[in-house]
Amino acid sequence: MATRLSGVARAFGDRVVLDSLDLVLGDGEFTALLGRSGSGKSTLLRALAGLDHEVTGTIDVTGSVAVAFQEPRLVPWKRLLANITLGLDAPVTKAKEALAEVGLAERADAWPLTLSGGEAQRASLARALVREPELLLLDEPFSALDALTRITVHQLVLELWARHRPAVLLVTHDVDEALLLADRVLVLDEGRIAHDVSITAGRPRHREDPELVALRTTLLAALGVSPEGRS
Amino acid sequence: MSVVELARPIEKARATPKGPRRRVTAWHRWLSPLALLVVWQIASATGLLPERLLAAPADIASTAVELTQAGTLPTAIGVSLQRVLIGFLVGGTAGIVLALVAGLSRAGENAVDPIMQALRALPFFGLIPLFILWFGIGEEPKILLVALAVSFPLYLNTFSGIRGVDGKLAEVATTLKLSRGQLIRHIVLPGALPQTLVGLRQALGVAWLALIVAEQVNATTGLGYMINDAREFLRTDVIVVGLLVYSALGLATDAIVRLLERRALAWRRGFLA
Ligand SMILES: Nc1ncnc2c1ncn2[C@@H]1O[C@H](COP(=O)(O)OP(=O)(O)OP(=O)(O)O)[C@@H](O)[C@H]1O
Ligand SMILES: [Mg+2]
């Protein structure tokens, strides 16, 4: 099955964002997508989600897809639980479980506009996870979370991934996050996949793992940052 | 309406430290109208303000009681209220249905919107002579004038409300695999509701206005008739009672819509509170 993209291109006016991009995402593979701000990560995700009608090339996605957008995009006139169950046939208990998993069990009756940034982001994540898709597209779903919540939610995503084995494409700015979670890390640059590395280390992973340390240096260099220059 | 609601928290924030002073201000606000009433009463009593121009406040009050006891006023109110209600229902339904047709598809927009925009430019009080020719002087021309007046604000606001629904939420609907029917029910209609409610309040305002105009021109029953009839006999007290009832009814219907708004837009209130 797998998800296949070949010759995918997208330009906004003169600005070419995706340029004849080729990519295969294996079934059940956890892939992280890195890239500078504005490199086209969200554009690629929207194309995969079937939301971009002007993208050219072939995109083959088989099976169900769920998306957590970069902004939470909760429906403001539906209470939290109704947001999770929107368009879902599964019973309400499952949606409640999903909310509990992201630590929002007591907020099930809250209006989305009353949630904090991190709460809204977790709710949006729960809405995607509860669908148990075959392809899960996550656009920086952890960016508004504090360090501690982030660790919990990382665990949650890994558990759900281990349970249902969807293919995951996780967009992130955080190299360490990519290294801790993914089987494979991509770097998007100049409209193409500029780097594609696999990680063999088992989970749970530790930042000090020599494989990860080596990959971190490689990836940071690929993103135009030298680790020495940072410290 | 959004302006009013958005202004509230700011007002609150300013008022909190000055709580007591605000109460004093509210009380002060009754002073000048009261003074005006007293001056008016004195002017009437001393003959400075002749009754054929404007009756004294006390006379107006007693006339209101008399008209109520005689049943004249309740009957007139009933007739006028019925005209507004039927006209409002007919016009409101038409306006909203047309807005749905135009808002939910390009073909619908092309079919409906140009006509509505053209009709909108008509001065609809100028239609009264035609309406009388077409429908006579019974209930129909009055009800239809109200309906016509009501349909435009509801059409325009609902249409722009539908078109103003956040495209990002429509994308969410796509990724959640909502059907077109579900998209309309869960995203488009609730998204357009705030703007429709703005239209509803505007519509109520013009509904009363249209009724007053229609009843002035020709009527043998209702509040407008009562006022016109009073003019013949120089009964300024009755005229003022009629006007006060018009405004009270207008305020009452506005309050109902505001209540509706508070309940229907609770999701937004939570954010503002
Ligand atoms: N609808 C649009 N119209 C015009 N330009 C767009 C549009 N959407 C995206 N772009 C441009 O395409 C480029 C890539 O945008 P995209 O959102 O994919 O970046 P990104 O990699 O997700 O960035 P970030 O990490 O900041 O989220 C940006 O330069 C952006 O300005
Ligand atoms: Mg992005």
**Closest chain A residue to B273, measured at CA:** A114
Nearest to A144 by CA among A129, A127, A125, A161: A125
Shortest distance, CA B8 to any CA of chain A (angstroms): 17
Q: How large is the average pLDDT for residues B221-235?
A: 92
Distance CA A166, CA A159 (A): 11
ipTM of the complex: 0.89
B170 touches chain A (CB under 8 A): no
Banded pLDDT at B273 (limits 50, 70, 90): very low
Work out the burial of residue B196: count CB atoms within 10 Å of its CB; fewer than 13 is exposed, 13-18 middle, 19 or more buried: buried
Show the domain range for B129: 81-272
**Closest chain B residue to A84, measured at CA:** B176
The enclosing H or E element of A215 equals helix A210-222
- Over chain A, what is the mean pLDDT? 92
Shortest distance, CA B257 to any CA of chain A (angstroms): 19
Write b or e for each residue in B198-232: b if 16 or more Cβ atoms lie within 10 A of its Cβ, otherwise e: bbbbbbbbbbbbbbbbbbebbbebbbbbbbbbbee
Banded pLDDT at A144 (limits 50, 70, 90): confident
Collapse the DSSP code of A32 into the 3-class scheme (helix H, G, I; strand E, B; otherwise coil) and give the result.
strand
User: What count of CB pairs under 8 Å joins A to B?
Assistant: 56
Collapse the DSSP code of A223 into the 3-class scheme (helix H, G, I; strand E, B; otherwise coil) and give the result.
coil
Kind of pairing, strands A167-171 and A30-34?
parallel
Residue B257 domain flag:
yes
> Given a cut of 90, is residue A136 above it in pLDDT?
yes
3-state SS, one letter per residue, for B204-230:
HHHHHHHHHHHHHHCCCCHHHHHHHHH
Q: Which of A75, A79, A112 sits opposite B187 (nearest CB)?
A: A75
Q: Which residues surround ligand 2, an ion (CB under 5 A)?
A: A 42, 70
> For residue B181, which amino acid is it?
G
Q: What is the pLDDT of residue B20?
A: 56
Q: What is the pLDDT of residue B50?
A: 92
Q: How large is the average pLDDT for residues B30-39?
A: 92
Tell which one of A42, A69, A189 to mutate to probe ligand 1, the residue whose CB is within 8 A of the most ligand atoms: A42
pTM: 0.82
**Ligand 1 site, residue A71, Cβ cutoff 6 A:** no
Between chains, do A87 and B190 touch, taking CB under 8 Å as contact? Answer: no
Shortest distance, CA A28 to any CA of chain B (angstroms): 20
Task: Provide DSSP, A156-199.
Answer: HHHHHHHHH--EEEEE-S-HHHHHHH-SEEEEEETTEEEEEEE-
Residues in chain B closer than 8 A to A47 (CB atoms): none
Q: Decide which of 2.40.160.20, 3.40.640.10, 3.40.50.300, 3.30.365.10 is the CATH code for A3-204.
A: 3.40.50.300
Q: What is the pLDDT of residue B272?
A: 53
Residue B169 domain flag:
yes
Domain CATH for B158: 1.10.3720.10
Residue B13 domain flag:
no
What is the percent of chain A where pLDDT is above 70?
Answer: 97
- Looking at the 3D structure of chain B, how many domains does it have? 1
> For residue B158, which amino acid is it?
T
Q: Which residue has the tokens 């006023």?
A: B73
Work out the burial of residue B140: count CB atoms within 10 Å of its CB; fewer than 13 is exposed, 13-18 middle, 19 or more buried: middle
Q: What is the pLDDT of residue B122?
A: 87
Q: What tens digit of pLDDT does each residue of A157-203 get?
A: 999 899 889 999 999 999 999 999 999 999 999 999 999 999 998 88
Closest residue by CA, ligand 1 atom 27: A37
Residue B43 domain flag:
no
Q: What is the pLDDT of residue A26?
A: 94
Q: What tens digit of pLDDT does each residue of A25-79 get?
A: 999 999 999 999 999 999 999 999 999 999 999 999 988 999 999 999 999 999 9
> Given a cut of 50, is residue B11 above it in pLDDT?
no
Q: What tens digit of pLDDT does each residue of B124-179 get?
A: 888 888 888 998 888 999 999 999 999 999 999 999 999 999 999 999 999 999 99
Q: Which of A64, A75, A131 sits opposite B172 (nearest CB)?
A: A75
Best of A77, A78, A81 to disrupt the B interface (most B CBs within 10 Å) is A77
Q: What is the pLDDT of residue B270?
A: 54
Instruction: Using alpha carbons only, give the angle B171, B172, B174 rounded to the nearest 5 degrees.
Output: 65
Instruction: Using alpha carbons only, give the angle B24, B25, B31 rounded to the nearest 5 degrees.
Output: 95
Residue B184 domain flag:
yes
Regarding predicted confidence, which is higher, B178 or A229? B178
Q: What is the pLDDT of residue A62?
A: 86
- Cα-to-centroid distance, A17 and ligand 1 (Å): 8
**Ligand 1 site, residue A191, Cβ cutoff 6 A:** no
**Closest chain B residue to A75, measured at CA:** B169
Ligand at shortest distance from the CA of A139? 2
Residue B55 domain flag:
no
